[in-house]
């Protein structure tokens, strides 16, 4: 087990820098390639699906989402909300439509959610935004037969925070059937002393209340019927891998419906890039969860 509290700052920052663990290409290249793949996939989705762009889910400038609708007359509609990564300070919904490419052929609606990234946004705001986006989706698409979350990296953290929501503060309790948490971070305390926190400016108090690993009892109350998949890349850093494994074990120990997917021959980036392909492992797992395989 890694004891991050005993690590020097540079060693901890290495563990928290996914691009430095890819075996495919240098760190600078892998992040540039990642953005390119996601943008191209999103362009493919926009060319193939019926799209509704910049749909508001709240009053703020950043409270927007893109909706990718398959050409189907079926009333048995499954819907996936995708929450992007980027360490809470990069990317947007403009690169987040790629997951729709293999899904709209199966009649699945995909919603790509934006939120105010740092430094404009802070952690409490981002968590509030993604929670409100889910409420808005449920209100706008009341005929959906299955609601699913999918988040990558920081988006997996935000998706886990959605699962941990105390819905009594809202006027609706979304029935989330499944959640895909891909290469996420579930304890924010290691981030505090690193470069990642410079634009976020999180205090310890903020980090604790926004760490999914601290909120498992609330998740058990709010999402007990949700099927959760915790996925991790073979070539994620040891710290990322440990966070996923520990979060999975905490969920399992609480009696929740959870599975672990350790995806071979992948790194932090292509584990989600591969979901553009209908034949990729995680896409198949997601479609099987929906009964669409």
How far is it, in rounded angstroms, from Cα 238 to Cα 71? Answer: 42
Instruction: Catalytic residue, from 187, 236, 237, 244: name it.
Output: 236
Q: Token digits for 190? A: 């290691």
Q: Which residue has the tokens 């927007």?
A: 64
Q: How deeply is 46 buried, as exposed, middle or buried, from its count of CB atoms within 10 A (0-12, 13-18, 19+)?
A: middle
From residue 148, alpha-carbon distances to 81, 134, 188 in Å are: 6, 10, 24
23 is catalytic: no
Tokens of 273: 């890039």
The strand pairing partners of 110, in sequence order, are 68, 80
The residue from 22, 96, 133, 153 that is catalytic is: 153
Cα–Cα distance, 285 to 293 (Å, whole number): 8
| 153 is a catalytic site residue | yes
Q: Which residue has the tokens 């690993």?
A: 213
- Could you give the C-alpha distances from 31 to 196, 199, 223, 246, in angstroms and in order? 15, 19, 33, 26
H-helix or E-strand spanning residue 46: helix 27-48
Indicate which residue of 84, 122, 157, 268 is catalytic: 268
**HSE-up of 236 (CA within 13 Å, CB side)?**
27
State yes or no: is 268 an active-site residue. Answer: yes
Active site residues: 153, 236, 268
């Amino acid at each position: 087990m890694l004891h991050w509290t005993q690590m020097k700052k540079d060693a901890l920052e290495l563990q928290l820098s996914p691009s430095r663990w890819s075996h495919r290409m240098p760190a600078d290249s892998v992040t540039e390639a990642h953005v390119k793949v996601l943008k191209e996939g999103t362009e493919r989705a926009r060319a193939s699906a019926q799209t509704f762009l910049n749909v508001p889910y709240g009053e703020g400038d950043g409270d927007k989402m893109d909706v990718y609708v398959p050409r189907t007359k079926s009333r048995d509609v499954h819907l996936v909300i995708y929450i992007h990564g980027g360490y809470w300070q990069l990317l947007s919904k403009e690169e987040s439509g790629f997951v729709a490419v293999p899904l709209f052929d199966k009649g699945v609606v995909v919603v790509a959610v934006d939120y105010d990234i740092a430094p404009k946004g802070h952690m409490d705001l981002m968590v509030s935004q993604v929670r409100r986006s889910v409420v808005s989706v449920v209100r706008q698409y009341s005929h959906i037969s299955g609601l699913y979350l999918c988040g990558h990296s920081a988006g997996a953290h935000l998706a886990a925070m959605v699962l941990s929501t105390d819905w009594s503060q809202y006027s609706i309790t979304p029935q989330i059937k499944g959640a895909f948490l891909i290469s996420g971070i579930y304890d924010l305390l290691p981030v505090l002393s690193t470069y990642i926190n410079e634009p976020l400016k999180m205090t310890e108090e903020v980090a604790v209340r926004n760490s999914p690993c601290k909120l498992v009892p609330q998740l058990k109350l709010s999402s007990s019927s949700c099927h959760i998949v915790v996925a991790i890349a073979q070539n994620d850093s040891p710290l990322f891998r440990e966070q996923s494994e520990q979060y999975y074990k905490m969920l399992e120990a609480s009696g929740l419906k959870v599975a672990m997917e350790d995806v071979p021959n992948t790194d932090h980036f292509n584990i989600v890039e591969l979901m553009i392909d209908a034949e990729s492992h995680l896409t198949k797992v997601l479609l099987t969860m929906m009964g669409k395989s």
